[in-house]
Structure 1
Amino acid sequence: MTSTEQHGAVPELLTVTGLDVEYSLKGFRRKPFRALTDINIAIKPGETLGLVGESGSGKTTLGRAVLGLAPVTRGTITFDGSDISHATRGERRRLGKDLQVVFQDPYTSLNPSLQIGDILAEPLTVQGKPAAEARRRVRELLDQVGLPSDAVDRLPREFSGGQRQRVAIARALALSPKLIVCDEPVSALDLSTQAVVLDLFLQIQRDTGVSYLFVSHDLDVVRHISHRVAVMYHGEIVEQGAAGTVTRNPAHPYTQRLLLASPVPDPDRQAKRRNERHQLLAEQRLVDAAPLPA
């Protein structure tokens, strides 16, 4: 028995350490664009890490780096005990069983010419599952995400946005992965559908123990679904901690601005939040404009 097992500690499923991501730019001697700088995160089995920030903060790039879709310039990404920072294409295919993704737009993430049954069976047949076993698993997946059994014979265009996202979630679950990268999976949905899909994510996690790296620009969304939250700003993590602490009593001015930007139903509270946010922005501009010490 290892010392970790003796003390009851759960090892991380995903660990990102000192990660930098740079993109080369066209042009003679142009410096590379650094999208991420010194990123450090960890996710345990059955845990959700919410990754929040405004557009351009680097949160989607971090998810893409974990999936092997963005270049790792420095640092390491360790998944289930193996360094996958520079995994080959063949290694990535094998990783597909344990590492999956749900994209933002349910309208473009599904092949419009395939029936739902074929969409869900595809990852199973690629892994060599017999046709009968694949059909049985497809029925289980539809039941798991709350879709009718006759969905197997229908095309994606016959479903609403929320139903299509359920299909995308079912496809990600097909191979019983250990981690799902969720890239803004509810931002294209209306508010009532968002709540239903978020509750579905939570129920699936309770039933299967899957982990999520949940990317969102909405602090209220990550508060609802996350155990811990990391806040990204200009390619860096500026605050990280328990979801309740970060989303209700943030320490960093940027996180405070994100919290104040979240809408609330009370008009008076909304007006107060707006004024507080403008005050924070004005204070930040003063700090940015201050001359450097001699």
Structure 2
Amino acid sequence: MTATSEAPLLSVQDLVVEYPSQRFRGKSFRALTDINISIGRGETLGLVGESGSGKTTLGRAVLGLAPVTAGKIMLEGKDIGHATRKERRALSRDLQVVFQDPYTSLNPALEIGDILSEPLSVQGMEPAAARKRVKELLDQVNLPADAIHRLPREFSGGQRQRVAIARALALSPKLIVCDEPVSALDLTTQARVLDLFLQIQKDTGVSYLFVSHDLDVVRHISHRVAVMYHGEIVEQGPADVVTRTPEHPYTQRLLLASPVPDPDRQEQRRADRHRLLETHRQQHEQAGALAS
């Protein structure tokens, strides 16, 4: 995949996120340390790491759902890291999100037409124009026209995720934060939804911050990849390079942990990963001994 070379749409600079302790005089928890990433127009940055690495926190910080302790989050040159609620409402035109579980993010009591028209109505669109836009959105995500009168529970997981994607597209945003949007789907449905993301990007020029724990997924959809470990970015670069020939030991472990269909190759991967973990443990022990 190729990306644009103009000024970045999103730029995160030296970002720090800390959560205050719940205990009196307790030490705050630092979730992110000195994060620096950028996303160009029409580009996808894959953000990958294991559970607890901080990748979801970074996505939440961009969305204004996590506290910015230090650093900047710039969208089109404007710092949005400390935006007010009113400013966030205005930002919804340019910045949207697709969550992991489409069912919990969709109001089960509303028909799909009402779910999709809600953000349009909030922005002041007339009902007739909103109905036309909803039909366009359903067509864009390959859902039938009669979906407009159906409830979320009447759809499969993959179809519900298409509804969630349509809602995110409703206001024609410039950037969508995708938080593990295919991890709850089976492999066949994953492939279809990923292809939908790619087609939408091709048609609209939207940018994605694509959060995932799966290197194979981010390889398929990303222009560039950033790897997170313990709240820091340990490696980033072109998707093909980072996901096939990574340099950092942590990224190498992630690659070796990815399942492959060949049993012999899978067994070899397990052995290689075990050897890499043992080497990393020994290096850590040696560093600790030297420090003491």
TM-score relative to the length of structure 2: 0.97
Q: Output the amino acid matched with 2:290.
A: L
Q: Shift of the alpha carbon at 1:61?
A: 0.1
Q: Distance in 2 between matches of 1:238 and 1:187?
A: 23
Amino acid at match of 1:210: V
Distance (whole Å) between structure 1 residues aligned to residue 23 and residue 261 of structure 2: 49
Deviations 1:209-236 (A, max 9, x none): 0000000000000000000000000000
Aligned to 1:62: 58
* 5+ long unaligned stretches in structure 1: 1-7
Matches of 1:217 and 1:254, distance apart in 2: 13
Q: Distance in 1 between matches of 2:212 and 2:160?
A: 19
Letter in 2 for 1:181: V
Choose which of 218, 224, 244 in structure 2 pairs with 1:228.
224
Report the CA distance between 1:293 and its aligned residue.
3.9
8 Å Cα contact 2:12/2:72 also seen in 1? yes
Q: Which amino acid aligns with 1:82?
A: K
Structure 2 CA distance for aligned equivalents of residues 207 and 270 of structure 1: 38
1:270 to 266, 270, 273: 266
Separation in 1 of the partners of 2:291 and 2:195?
51
Matches within 5 A, 1:219-258: 219-258=215-254
**In the alignment, what sits opposite 2:113?**
117
| Runs of 5+ consecutive residues of structure 2 not aligned to the other structure | none
2:214 pairs with one of 214, 218, 222: 218
Instruction: Tell me the CA shift for residue 173 of structure 1.
Output: 0.1
- Post-superposition offset of 1:28: 2.6
Letter in 1 for 2:248: H
What does residue 180 of structure 1 align with? 176
Mapped to 2, the partners of 1:292 and 1:231 lie a distance apart of: 28
Task: Report what 2:290 is aligned to.
Answer: 292
Q: Deviations over 1:181-229 (max 9, x none)?
A: 0000000101110000000000000000000000000000000000000
Shift, 1:247, TM fit: 0.2
* 1:4-15 alignment runs, 5 A limit: 9-15=5-11
Aligned twin of 1:82:
78
How many residues are matched? Answer: 287
Of 82, 89, 96 in structure 1, the residue corresponding to residue 92 of structure 2 is 96
Partners of 2:74 and 2:17 in 1: how far apart?
Answer: 16
Structure 2 partner of 1:157: 153
Correspondence for 1:5 = none
Alignment of 1:135-174 (within 5 A): 135-174=131-170
CA contact (8 A) 2:5 2:40 kept: no
Q: Normalization by structure 1: what TM-score? A: 0.96
Give the distance between the partners of 2:24 and 2:105, measured in 1 at CA. 37
Secondary structure of 2:105's partner?
Answer: coil
